[in-house]
């Protein structure tokens, strides 16, 4: 997979060769994301007490959520990051009826000057708008450099706290027979992941994909755990009439705490549904 990603850097196109020191410019960077579900996740999905077609759908949805192409539209102070929908041969979007991934941020808008962000996640067919303070990423600047599509890039690392998907699946699959180990896993809702970014000062904006920002240059490559984002195309445009990058507006406005409470409630409902068949079966065995 690494060799494929390295080759894809050759696809980077320089549409406009300009100086980005001007305030009146816009840029657009396209990233390809390569990821793979861990074997532990696949095994835990296969162990769930649900129909086989539901397991296959779960794995398919999870793969769609973590792979694909993404676009970052940016200026000096603002940016918006979104996933590009795949199209089939007749031009229809390959999108499942609803998204069950609570970690999907939807369109991610950042204003690094005012330190504000707005995410527009979709969960179970409903779109939400979450406004919050933009957290400062604690980067460690490294000495290593490399070329990506003709740009000189520097390495930076940080540690991010992310949801522990393996733990969540394990607690669901054992919902009816919770052991001591399962209870411990259920408490471990998050885990630390090493983030490695390669940024170029040749495009001096502190922007990057997926809420990663604060470096002295645009991030062209990003690795978070098993996931890799690689920039494959860049376009820059300078004009006196550059349109403003606007935040997402469609969706129900909620706080992060309110959104997490909604997701928690829905996940509990799904977990309860997993419990019911086993409980009925157990009652049937007792009657026999």
pLDDT higher for 53 or 201? Answer: 201
The answer to whether 132 and 121 have CB atoms below 8 angstroms apart is no
Q: Is-contact 12 19, C-beta < 8 A? A: no
Residue 287: the pLDDT is 44
Residue 268's pLDDT band (boundaries 50, 70, 90)? confident
Task: Work out the mean pLDDT of the chain and round it to a whole number.
Answer: 76
Pairing of strands 151-163, 252-254: unpaired
pLDDT (0 to 100) of residue 163: 67
Whether 224 contacts 161, CB under 8 Å = no
pLDDT number for residue 185? 46
pLDDT of 129 over the 80 cut? yes
**DSSP string computed for the chain:** -HHHHHHHGGG--B-----TTSSSEEEEEEEEEE----HHHHHHHHTSSS-HHHHHHHHHHHHHHH-EEEEEEE-SSEEEEEEEPPB-TTS-B---SS---TT--BEEEEETTTTEEEEE-EETTEEEEEEEEPPPP--EEEEEEEEETTEEEEEEEEEEEEE-HHHHHHHHHTSSS--HHHHHHHH--EEEEEEEEEEETTS-----STT---SSSEEEEEEETTEEEEEEEEEEEE-TTPPPPPPP--SEEE-HHHHHHHHHHHHHHHHHHHHHHHHHHHHHHHH-
User: Using one digit for the tens of pLDDT, what is the confidence trace for 37-84?
Assistant: 666 667 777 777 778 887 777 776 666 666 789 999 999 899 999 988
Separation between Cα atoms, residue 7 and residue 31, nearest integer Å: 14
Q: Tokens for 17?
A: 């060769």
Rounded distance between C-alpha atoms, residue 275 and residue 271, angstroms = 6
Cα–Cα distance between 251 and 235 in angstroms, integer? 30
Residue 232: the pLDDT is 94
Q: Work out the average pLDDT over 229-257.
A: 87
| 51: Cβ contacts below 8 Å, ≥ 6 apart | none
pLDDT at position 31: 96
Pairing verdict, β 252-254 and 126-133 = parallel
Q: What is the pLDDT of residue 36?
A: 67
- Identify the CA nearest to 164 among candidates 44, 56, 31, 3: 44
Q: Is pLDDT of 241 > 60?
A: yes
pLDDT tens digits, 141-195: 999 999 999 999 999 999 988 766 544 444 444 444 444 444 444 445 677 889 9
Please compute the mean of the pLDDT values over residues 95-117 and round it to a whole number: 73
Q: Are 154 and 204 in contact (CB under 8 A)?
A: no
């Amino acid at each position: 997979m690494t060799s494929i990603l390295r080759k894809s850097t050759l696809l980077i196109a320089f549409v406009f060769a300009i100086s980005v020191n001007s305030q009146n410019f816009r840029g657009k960077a396209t990233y390809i994301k390569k990821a793979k579900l861990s074997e532990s996740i696949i095994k835990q999905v296969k162990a769930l007490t649900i129909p086989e077609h539901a397991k296959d759908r779960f794995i398919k949805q999870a793969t769609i959520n973590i792979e694909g192409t993404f676009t970052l539209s940016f200026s000096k102070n603002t940016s918006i990051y979104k996933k590009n929908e795949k199209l089939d041969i007749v031009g229809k979007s390959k999108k499942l009826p609803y998204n069950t991934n609570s970690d999907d941020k939807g369109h991610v808008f950042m204003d690094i000057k005012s330190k504000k962000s707005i995410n527009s996640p979709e969960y179970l067919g409903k779109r939400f708008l979450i406004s919050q303070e933009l957290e400062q990423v604690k980067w460690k600047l490294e000495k290593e450099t490399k070329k990506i599509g003709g740009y000189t890039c520097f390495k930076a690392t940080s540690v991010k706290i992310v949801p522990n998907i393996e733990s969540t699946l394990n607690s669901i699959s054992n919902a009816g027979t919770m052991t001591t180990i399962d209870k411990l896993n259920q408490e471990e809702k998050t885990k630390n992941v090493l983030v490695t970014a390669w940024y170029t000062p040749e495009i001096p904006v502190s922007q990057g994909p997926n809420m990663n920002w604060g470096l002295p240059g645009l991030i062209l490559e990003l690795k978070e755990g098993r996931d890799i984002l690689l920039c494959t195309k860049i376009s820059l445009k300078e004009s006196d009439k550059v349109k403003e990058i606007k935040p997402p507006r469609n969706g129900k406005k909620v706080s992060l705490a309110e959104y997490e409470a909604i997701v928690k409630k829905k996940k509990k409902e799904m977990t309860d549904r997993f419990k019911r068949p086993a409980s009925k079966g157990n009652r049937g065995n007792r009657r026999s």
